[in-house]
Amino acid sequence: MPILPIGVRTQGTRRLTLVRHAGAYEMRNTINRRQLLVALATASMASPAWNALAEPPLGVNGVQLVGEPTQLITANDLPAARVVRLPPVDDRVKQVVVTALAIDPRGEWLAVAGDDHVIRLLRQETLQIVRTLGDGQRSGESPIGHSDMIRTLAFDATGSRLASAGNDGRLVIWDRNEQFRVLQEIGSAPALACVNFSPTGHQMVAVGFDKEVFLISNEPTKNDRLLCDCNDLRCCVYRHDGEALAIAGRDGHLHLFDPKTGKLIADQHLHERRVRDLAFMPNSDILVSVDEDGVILRWDTRTNEVLSRQKITSGRLFSLAIVDSHRIAAAGSDDVIHLVDLADDGRSLYVSGQLRGHVGSVATLAAVDGMVFSGGFDATLRRWDLNRNAMADSKIALGNDGSTPASEPTPR
């Protein structure tokens, strides 16, 4: 995609360059080994900081948080999970580690990526695998899909397109209207960690393990690339109005850009360690972020004010999902999904409950209609229904670990 120079912008001592680049990007060496996943899962079995019956945690300065949860979850209330183990596509892989999730806005599909380099489309209601995208090797005369670990999945707002990207440096767009055939493939990029669509679907953003931020438009002449000082970018997300794009990574800064012009709106050093995930609250200017220091933070991107900062675990946080306007799910290396509620004061955060069952780091989360989906290094996909009427039903029907065995091969 042809891209031409635009200019340089500075913010304090931080330098950001907006460029347009002609030709394909140079392919770079990336780290991607299944052994690394297994090693990370084995090494990160830290105990959770507290449980569902504990007192609300202390704030940043040791002050007890005020307010009561909107819906306090006790140990007896916690739901059992529906558990699915993804069947491998071939005999070379024994178990499939879940690396990325995306929820279809139309309510039909759950897209699940594994470390076997393929995408599975499951029905949200039954968790039945209906289709796989790619073969994990890009073999055959017309190779499609990915040849390395997929790290990120995203549907557009209409559910018409599914984007996937990962360590092989390919960004693949799958067309729902054509049985999820490949609509477009962009190759020769660095390893990519996160991809997202703008609210209108006219633009996409992708970031990876270096300083490049790719802005991909429907108009080829408007495909831009941002460069910044952070050499390890992990997450990117658009605000609901499409007027701001949040990006973060290794240096703990939250970068806010105007996605139309590339202008830097704000650059705040709000985390001490690597930021692993970002999400905006529903129809809100408030950005939620989690980091490898176990901290969850809420930042008002309109007023540039930090509303909440709370350490919720001694482990590292890898992923978050917005459950509703008052509840956030966050998870990482301690094997636990922390349910974090907004207190009555509208600012303080505290853990109202924990979802336990994973044996290994939780790599990815997604949420819709009161349900939380989780996947991780224990090679399981889990669905937790937080709707009160469903909690007792799930225990009766599924017990403490309603596992669905991988008795059938993955359909192609």
Query: pLDDT per residue over 227-244, tens digit each?
Result: 877 889 999 999 999 999
- As a whole number, mean pLDDT of residues 326-340 equals 97
Q: Residue 176 pLDDT more than 70?
A: yes
Please give the backbone phi and psi of residue 142, each rounded to the nearest 5 degrees, phi first.
-125, 80
How far apart are the C-alpha atoms of 325 and 338, rounded to whole Å? Answer: 16
State the pTM of this model.
0.79
Instruction: Measure Cα distances from 310 to 51, 314, 337, 346, 374 in Å.
Output: 16, 12, 15, 14, 22
Q: Residue 399 pLDDT more than 80?
A: no
How far apart are the C-alpha atoms of 195 and 261, rounded to whole Å? Answer: 19
Q: Residue 183 pLDDT more than 60?
A: yes
3-state helix, strand, coil in the chain (%, to 5): 5, 45, 50
How far apart are the C-alpha atoms of 274 and 293, rounded to whole Å? Answer: 8
Nearest one of 208, 184, 221, 188 to 24, comparing CA atoms: 188
Q: Residue 125 pLDDT more than 50?
A: yes
On whether residue 148 sits in a domain, the answer given is yes
> What's the pLDDT at 211?
87
The domain in which residue 232 lies consists of 7-404
On whether residue 1 sits in a domain, the answer given is no
Q: What is the CATH number of the domain that holds 390?
A: 2.130.10.10
Q: Mean pLDDT of all residues in the chain? A: 80
On whether residue 411 sits in a domain, the answer given is no
35-56 pLDDT, tens per residue?
333 333 333 333 332 333 334 4
81-92 pLDDT, tens per residue?
999 999 988 777
On whether residue 104 sits in a domain, the answer given is yes
On whether residue 2 sits in a domain, the answer given is no
Count: domains in the chain: 1
More confident residue, 226 or 134: 134
Per-residue tokens: 337: 């999904």
Q: How far apart are the first and last CA of the chain?
A: 32
- As a whole number, mean pLDDT of residues 154-183 equals 97
DSSP letter for 191, please.
Answer: P
- As a whole number, mean pLDDT of residues 267-279 equals 96
- As a whole number, mean pLDDT of residues 347-357 equals 95
- % of the chain exceeding 90 in pLDDT: 63
Are 363 and 378 spatial neighbours (Cβ–Cβ below 8 Å)? no
Nearest one of 162, 143, 177 to 100, comparing CA atoms: 162
Three-state DSSP state, 12: coil
On whether residue 283 sits in a domain, the answer given is yes
State the DSSP string of 241-299.
TSS-EEEEETT-EEEEE-TTT--EEEEEE--SS-EEEEEEPTTSSEEEEEETTSEEEEE
Per-residue tokens: 309: 């900062």
E strand intervals along 191-232:
192-197, 203-208, 212-217, 224-227
> What's the pLDDT at 78?
73
Are 96 and 37 spatial neighbours (Cβ–Cβ below 8 Å)? no
Per-residue tokens: 196: 């997202």
Nearest one of 182, 115, 130 to 364, comparing CA atoms: 115
pLDDT band at 305 (very low <50, low <70, confident <90, very high): very high
Q: Pairing state of beta strands 81-84 and 401-404? A: parallel
On whether residue 205 sits in a domain, the answer given is yes
DSSP letter for 86, please.
Answer: P
